[in-house]
Structure 1
Amino acid sequence: MSFTVAIIGRPNVGKSTLFNRLIGRKLAIVHDMPGVTRDRRSAPASLLGLEFEVIDTAGLEVSGPETLEGRMRQQTERALAEADVALFLIDGRAGLTPMDEHFAQLLRRQKTPVILVANKCEGKAGDQGMYESYGLGLGDPIPLSAEHGLGLGDLLAALLPYSKELPYDEDDEFGFTPEPEEIPDIDEGDEVVIPPPPDRPLHVAIVGRPNTGKSTLVNCLLGEDRMLTGPEAGVTRDSITVKYEWRGRPIKIVDTAGIRRRSRVEESLEKLSVADTLNSIRMAEVVVLMLDANMVLDKQDLTIARLVLEEGRALVIAVNKWDAAIDRAESLQRLGDRLQTSLPQVRGIPTVTLSALRNQGVDDLMEAVFEIHSLWNARVPTSRLNRWLDEMITRHPPPLSKQKRRIKLRYMTQVKARPPTFAIFVSKPDELPESYMRYLVNGLRDVFGLDGVPLRIHLRKPKNPYVD
């Protein structure tokens, strides 16, 4: 990107709305409640052909550094220091407020150049506030309506002087976009094929209940206070994606909002946060489920784990706060029992104990992430699959159908990876019992070493060539 633009201002002036307008999609949560945005978020933006990086920040508030609002302000100040230019938004309809004047004085002392933007100026409702903003001493304000896309041409003219005309890397996209897979010839050879690591970043989402240490883990990996953390539960609201590199492998880590039980989610804002988290799960390749060492795999944790597996994502369980565990042996025993009884469909889910606050066990977690990602991409040769299927049928033949005829399993192949998905051509697919399907899945895991990843088997009926 040629330059970086930070959007700053007091709460509820439309910063996230402008952020979404510039990046061309609804990435940041927008709500009428002030102070929705807490962490800073960046993404590539395009304004009438001008490419740049834009940063959405939390609303500026006057609070002590020990409070949540004070920590949010520190995040905004870091974004301002990283930016080449700042857009200072005011609400044109509400007019100037003492808070706007206070932060305008602070911005005049900063080295980062500031462009004054009067938002919500559709029609003539914001004219008075725009004229009042001349008194801030930040130059001529730009009338804008982020909601309706008005005034973007004037904003482009104000940003053009800061463009450095650097070449733009079109492959550097924000977020994970599934690419079409090149299906290798899996009939060559006789061993399970695990493709080499791809060049694009591995997409990892960190999920869990509130206050389990998800943002603390991200900060530990990055080696800086990138995410807003604190003793309060539910600090994170947006799903924030950050770039990271571990032992030469590029990663995109998504820090998500905590998911509470559906019966406890009442506010519309929390519903938006949960929806954002669920979308992050669907777009991820590997999902790390964070648990509290003293509350291992309760009902809500199991609900999240089942959701991840149903989406076909690779799952790693991270037991955080291990340094503060009251009874470690009991926690491990409870974890193993709950996995065996409540998630029997995916055997061998990798589990790692760690302390994100003390940076203990984090490397073990990343090793488990890459190992499960390799299995998630594994392919089994068709010839070996069918030899295995013949052995399974010989050892335990399928039951009889309703017409007292043996159900025939004729052929098997792997149709895709991510997760490993197989197709079996069966004479009567509707009558093959679920118990026999579990028998086949367990056999696949035992023989081909596919423990810990979700497996999908589709039953298909072969076409009858004489039907016509």
Structure 2
Amino acid sequence: MSFTVAIVGRPNVGKSTLFNRLVGKKLALVDDTPGVTRDRRPGDAKLVDLRFQIIDTAGLEESGPETLEGRMRAQTEAAIDEADLTLFVVDAKMGLTPVDKTLAEMLRRRGKPVVLVANKAEARGSDGGFYDAFTLGLGDPCPISAEHGEGMIDLRDAIVAALGEERAFPPKEDVAETNVDVVDLNDDEEGAEDDDETAYDDSKPLRVAIVGRPNAGKSTLINRFLGEDRLLTGPEAGITRDSISVEWDWRGRTIKMFDTAGMRRKARVTEKLEKLSVADALRAIRFAELVVIVFDATIPFEKQDLQIVDLVLREGRAAVLAFNKWDLVEDAQAVLADLREKTERLLPQARGIRAVPISGQTGYGLDRLMQSIIDTDKVWNRRISTAKLNRWLEQQQVQHPPPAVSGRRIRLKYMTQVKARPPGFMISCTRADALPESYVRYLTNGLRQDFALPGVPIRIHFRASENPYENKKKKKR
């Protein structure tokens, strides 16, 4: 991206709506309630022929630094310092407030380019607020409607005028000729030749979602990974609302982490804004490859914790448990033994799942957690050759034959892995609909143990083999 732009303004002036308009997606939560956005959210923006990085920020309010509003203000000021240009959004419909004038003075002191944006200019009676914006002393306001997409051409011209042509349109670098690698089209990820057990590619970026109950320490954990206060934290429960993505490198590999809102029991989620936050967290789970479920080690295995684990596994994601706040545990060895016993007993559907005690506050156990993430992702991507699977299937039937249903024994004929991420298998058999669930669990547990597939969901599909004589009528003698 050529430059970075921060969107600032007091609460409820339409900053997140403008952010969504510029990125072309509904990434940021939008609601009539003031103060929906709390963390700063980056995105790739497109405005006519401009391409740049955009940062959505919390509404600026005057408050003490120890309060939640004060910490939100610190995050917004960090975004202003990081950006090359600031879009200062005011509400043309409501007019100026003393907070707008205070923010204008703060932006002037920083000395960076500012574009004054008068949003909601399409509303009836907005002319008064538009002309009042001239009194801020930040140049001519640019009237727009972020909701309806009006005035975007004028906004583009204002950004180019504030930055200059050279900064807005940097010269394109000449791309040198490079050698092109020959790609074998038959080597498909789903396994056109599923006898090939493809090697794990540790150069690809890894998408990791951090989920858990409110106030489990998810944002603090990510801040410790990054080494900076990138996400808003505090003693208040439910601070995070949007799913914020951050990138960093761990031992040369790019990790893209998603901080999500805390998920309470469905019956307790009644407010519209919390429903939007939880829906955003669920989208982050579906988008991620691996999910870290953060438990509070002082009160682990609440009912909601178990439901979150079950949700992640049903979505087919790889999962790792992180018992946070380990620095608050007194008898660590006894608690660790108790957590291991409860993990095996309460999560039988995730037998062998990796669980790591950590402390986001002190940094204890974070390297071990990252190694568990990588190891679990390898299992989630694992492929097993068809020859090995069929030899294994034959041994399983010798040790424990399929049951006879209505006097007729079920035969398992052929097995292959049809996909990875998560591992999925297909077994061709007779009378697939009559195979009892207990035998399916027997096969699943055998796969998990014999092929080292701990802690990841395993899907087995059964397909009835076709009988060529099934629909033919008997010939008369």
When normalised by structure 2's length, the TM-score is: 0.92
Kept in 2: contact 1:92–1:129 (CA 8 A): yes
Q: Does 1:421 align with 2:424?
A: yes
Cα shift at 1:465: 2.8
1:65 is aligned with what amino acid? P
Q: Tell which deviates more after alignment, 327-336 or 78-87.
A: 327-336
Q: Does 1:235 align with 2:239?
A: yes
Q: Does 1:286 align with 2:294?
A: no
Partners of 2:237 and 2:146 in 1: how far apart? 31
Partners of 2:213 and 2:80 in 1: how far apart? 31
Kept in 2: contact 1:20–1:26 (CA 8 A): yes
2:428 is aligned with what amino acid? F
Measured against aligned partners, the alpha-carbon deviations of 1:359-404 in whole angstroms (never above 9, x if no partner) come to: 11101000000000000000000011000000000110000122x1
Partners of 1:106 and 1:7 in 2: how far apart? 14
Match of 2:299 in 1: 295
Kept in 1: contact 2:93–2:123 (CA 8 A): no
Cα shift at 1:310: 0.2
Partners of 1:100 and 1:390 in 2: how far apart? 74
1:299 is aligned with what amino acid? K
Residue 222 and residue 184 in structure 1: after superposition, are their counterparts in 2 closer, same or farther (change >3 A)?
Answer: farther
Cα shift at 1:7: 0.3
Identity %, equivalent residues: 57
Q: Does 1:16 align with 2:24?
A: no
Partners of 1:166 and 1:125 in 2: how far apart? 43
Kept in 2: contact 1:194–1:377 (CA 8 A): no
1:310 to 304, 309, 314: 314
Partners of 2:138 and 2:25 in 1: how far apart? 30
Cα shift at 1:426: 1.5
Match of 2:50 in 1: 50
Match of 1:384 in 2: 388
Residue 167 and residue 337 in structure 1: after superposition, are their counterparts in 2 closer, same or farther (change >3 A)?
Answer: farther
Match of 1:202 in 2: 206
Partners of 2:313 and 2:376 in 1: how far apart? 13
Match of 1:344 in 2: 348
Kept in 2: contact 1:194–1:375 (CA 8 A): no
Kept in 1: contact 2:190–2:420 (CA 8 A): no
Match of 2:336 in 1: 332
Cα shift at 1:327: 3.7
SS in 1 for 2:350: coil
SS in 2 for 1:118: strand
Partners of 1:23 and 1:120 in 2: how far apart? 19
Match of 1:450 in 2: 453
1:33 is aligned with what amino acid? T
Match of 1:186 in 2: 194
Partners of 1:120 and 1:33 in 2: how far apart? 16
Partners of 1:390 and 1:216 in 2: how far apart? 50
Partners of 1:95 and 1:42 in 2: how far apart? 28
Partners of 1:112 and 1:146 in 2: how far apart? 23
Partners of 1:371 and 1:22 in 2: how far apart? 38
Partners of 1:269 and 1:333 in 2: how far apart? 39
Kept in 2: contact 1:239–1:276 (CA 8 A): yes
Q: Please list, as runs of the form range in 1=range in 2, the aligned pairs for 1:361-400 lying within 5 A after superposition.
A: 361-400=365-404
Measured against aligned partners, the alpha-carbon deviations of 1:191-217 in whole angstroms (never above 9, x if no partner) come to: x65422243x10000000111110011
2:449 is aligned with what amino acid? D
| Residues paired across the two proteins, number | 452
Partners of 2:217 and 2:118 in 1: how far apart? 38
Cα shift at 1:62: 0.2
Match of 1:406 in 2: 409
Residue 167 and residue 264 in structure 1: after superposition, are their counterparts in 2 closer, same or farther (change >3 A)?
Answer: farther
Q: Please list, as runs of the form range in 1=range in 2, the aligned pairs for 1:137-216 lying within 5 A after superposition.
A: 137-161=137-161, 162=163, 163-165=168-170, 167=172, 181=189, 183=191, 185-188=193-196, 193-199=198-204, 201-216=205-220
Q: Tell which deviates more after alignment, 29-38 or 44-53.
A: 44-53
SS in 2 for 1:272: helix
Kept in 1: contact 2:9–2:60 (CA 8 A): yes
SS in 1 for 2:409: coil
Residue 102 and residue 368 in structure 1: after superposition, are their counterparts in 2 closer, same or farther (change >3 A)?
Answer: same
2:191 is aligned with what amino acid? I
Cα shift at 1:123: 4.5
SS in 2 for 1:242: strand
Cα shift at 1:165: 2.2
1:462 is aligned with what amino acid? S
Cα shift at 1:63: 0.3
Q: Please list, as runs of the form range in 1=range in 2, the aligned pairs for 1:108-123 lying within 5 A after superposition.
A: 108-123=108-123
Q: Please list, as runs of the form range in 1=range in 2, the aligned pairs for 1:98-113 lying within 5 A after superposition.
A: 98-113=98-113
Measured against aligned partners, the alpha-carbon deviations of 1:16-41 in whole angstroms (never above 9, x if no partner) come to: 00000000010000011100100000
Partners of 1:245 and 1:130 in 2: how far apart? 45
Cα shift at 1:227: 0.3
Cα shift at 1:346: 1.8
When normalised by structure 1's length, the TM-score is: 0.94
Partners of 1:21 and 1:181 in 2: how far apart? 35
Q: Once superposed, what is the RMSD of the aligned Cα atoms?
A: 1.5
Cα shift at 1:124: 3.9
1:303 is aligned with what amino acid? Q
SS in 2 for 1:418: coil
Q: Tell which deviates more after alignment, 372-381 or 106-115.
A: 106-115
Gaps of 5+ in 2: 174-187, 472-477
SS in 2 for 1:345: helix
Measured against aligned partners, the alpha-carbon deviations of 1:25-61 in whole angstroms (never above 9, x if no partner) come to: 1000001110010000001011113111100000000
Measured against aligned partners, the alpha-carbon deviations of 1:223-253 in whole angstroms (never above 9, x if no partner) come to: 1100001111111111000111100000100
Match of 1:176 in 2: none
Q: Does 1:439 align with 2:455?
A: no
